[in-house]
Structure 1
Amino acid sequence: MNDMTETHLAPTGASDTPAVESGARVRTIANAVLRAPFTARTWKEITYLIAAFVLGGLAAGWGWIAGSGGLLAALTIVGIPLPAVLLLAGRYWAKVYRELSRRLLDTPVAEPRPFAPRPGLFGFLRDAFADIPSWRALLFLFLQVIVGIVGGWSLFVGAFVAVMLAISPIIWQFFPSIDNAGRRSLIQFNAFYADNWLSVLVFCVLGVLGLFAVPWVARALCLLHRLLTVLLLGPTEGDQRVTRLRESRQAAVDDATATLARVERDLHDGTQNRLVTIAMTLGRAEERAATGADTGALISDARASAKEALTELRDLVRGIHPPALDLGLGPALETLAARSSIPVELRVNLLQRPGPAVEAIAYFAVAELLTNVVKHAHAERAWVSVLSDNRGAITVTVRDNGIGGVLPPGHSTGGSGLAGLATRASAVDGTLTVHSPTGGPTVVTLVLPVNDPR
Structure 2
Amino acid sequence: MRRIWAEFRYAVTALPIAVAGLSGVGVLLVPGLTLAVVFAGLPLLAAAVSLAGWFAAVERRRQAALLGVRIGTPAGPGGERWVIGRLKHGAGWRAVAFTLLKPLAALPSCAAVLLFWAAGAAELGYPLWRHVGGLTQVWGGLPLDTWPRSLLAAGAGAVLLACAPWAVRGAILLDRLLAGALLTPAKGDERLRHLERTRTQAVDDAAATLRRIERDLHDGAQARMVAVTMDLDTAGRLLEDATQLDRARELLDLARHNAGAAVGELRDLAKGIHPPALDHGLDTALATLAAARGGIPVEVSVDLPERPGRAGESILYFCAAELLANVFKHSHATRAVIEVRGTPSALVLRVHDDGYGGAATTPGGGLEGLAARLRPVDGRLTLTSPPGGPTTAVVELPHRR
The alignment's TM-score, normalised by the length of structure 2, stands at 0.87
Partner of 2:226: 276
Deviates more, 1:53-62 or 1:336-345: 53-62
In the superposition, relative to structure 1, how do residues 64 and 157 fare at CA in structure 2: closer, same or farther (>3 Å)? farther
Shift of 1:321: 0.5
**Which secondary structure state, in structure 1, belongs to the residue aligned with residue 377 of structure 2?**
coil
Name structure 1 gaps, 5 residues minimum. 1-38, 178-183
Name structure 2 gaps, 5 residues minimum. none
Partner of 2:260: 307
Task: Please state if 1:357 is matched with 2:311.
Answer: yes
Partner of 1:90: 52
Deviates more, 1:380-389 or 1:150-159: 150-159
Aligned counterparts of 1:243 and 1:191: Cα–Cα separation in 2: 64
**Which secondary structure state, in structure 1, belongs to the residue aligned with residue 44 of structure 2?**
helix
Shift of 1:415: 3.4
Match runs of 1:13-412 below 5 Å: 39-74=1-36, 78-119=40-81, 124-167=82-125, 175=134, 177=136, 185-186=138-139, 204-292=154-242, 293=245, 297-343=250-296, 344-390=298-344, 392-408=345-361, 411=362
**Which secondary structure state, in structure 2, belongs to the residue aligned with residue 445 of structure 1?**
strand
In the superposition, relative to structure 1, how do residues 290 and 64 fare at CA in structure 2: closer, same or farther (>3 Å)? closer
Q: Cα deviation per residue 1:212-232 (whole Å; 9 max; x = unaligned)? A: 111011112223323332332
Deviates more, 1:62-71 or 1:127-136: 62-71
Aligned counterparts of 1:260 and 1:172: Cα–Cα separation in 2: 82
Partner of 1:31: none
Aligned counterparts of 2:263 and 2:56: Cα–Cα separation in 1: 62
Shift of 1:185: 0.8
Shift of 1:168: 5.2
Contact preservation (8 Å) 2:379, 2:397: yes
Shift of 1:131: 1.4
Aligned counterparts of 1:235 and 1:364: Cα–Cα separation in 2: 34
Aligned counterparts of 1:237 and 1:401: Cα–Cα separation in 2: 39
Shift of 1:248: 1.5
Contact preservation (8 Å) 1:342, 1:381: no
Shift of 1:173: 7.4
Instruction: Please provide the CA RMSD for this pair.
Output: 2.9
Deviates more, 1:309-318 or 1:344-353: 344-353
Shift of 1:150: 4.0
Aligned counterparts of 1:285 and 1:66: Cα–Cα separation in 2: 86
Contact preservation (8 Å) 1:398, 1:444: yes
**Identity over aligned residues, as a percent?**
37
In the alignment, residue 442 of structure 1 is paired with which amino acid? T
- Number of residue equivalences: 396
In the alignment, residue 209 of structure 1 is paired with which amino acid? V
Aligned counterparts of 1:352 and 1:191: Cα–Cα separation in 2: 86
Aligned counterparts of 2:189 and 2:354: Cα–Cα separation in 1: 41
Shift of 1:155: 3.9
Deviates more, 1:276-285 or 1:51-60: 276-285
**Which secondary structure state, in structure 2, belongs to the residue aligned with residue 427 of structure 1?**
helix
